[in-house]
Amino acid sequence: MTTIKRWFRRILLGFVLITVGFSLGRQTAPPPEAIPNALPQRSEIEVQAGEDRLMVYAAHATQRCYSCSLIEQYAKELLDDEFGDLLETGRIDVQSIDYSKNTPFARQYDIASSTLILVRIEAGREHAFVRLDDVWTHLNNRDAFMDYVRNAIYAQLDLLDRRAP
């Protein structure tokens, strides 16, 4: 019986330590405004009628870890460096959305963790979306991350261009 009690105490202690660790991590995560190159925060999905464009959503939880912040930072770098002209003309729009606070958004795109979502807007209405969950698998290789996101953006822009008269 003492062996069972000992294992039960170890499991309980492990649970307490993990809980405390998560709690401390949430308390020490930097606020969004402290993240370098963070995308603008918007709480609502904004689409103007009649437009064809690509929306890039950086979906994140309220409390962000380093990796979650890095996803958004890399995305911003890529968009600014390679798609700046399309951002200026409105062909591409980007928003950072807290999916923890925006439940309808999280449900609409079936979001469970920080990710990037590309939404093709045709004639002012959402036509299709692609959730780029593999950003996590490429996070430790900046070049692979950039290639993955870049290729996905170009594929969606190509579909928009095919639609144009």
**Do residue 9 and residue 40 come from a single domain?**
no
Q: Specify the amino acid at residue 136.
A: W
**Do residue 24 and residue 48 come from a single domain?**
no
Q: Distance between CA 21 and CA 42 in Å, rounded?
A: 30
**Do residue 75 and residue 94 come from a single domain?**
yes
pLDDT in tens, 9-24: 888 777 776 776 655 5
Q: Distance between CA 125 and CA 47 in Å, rounded?
A: 8
Confidence (pTM): 0.70
Total domain count, the chain = 2
Task: Give the sheet arrangement for strand 53-60, strand by strand.
Answer: 92-98, 53-60, 115-122, 125-131
**Do residue 26 and residue 36 come from a single domain?**
no
**Do residue 2 and residue 59 come from a single domain?**
no
**Do residue 98 and residue 19 come from a single domain?**
no
Select from 111, 125, 2, 1 the least CA-distant residue to 58: 111
The boundaries of the domain holding residue 18 are: 1-30
Most confident of the following: 61-65, 121-125, 143-147, 160-164: 143-147
**Do residue 138 and residue 61 come from a single domain?**
yes
pLDDT in tens, 64-120: 888 889 999 999 999 999 999 999 988 999 999 999 898 898 999 999 899 999 999
- Tell me if residue 98 falls in helix, strand or coil: strand
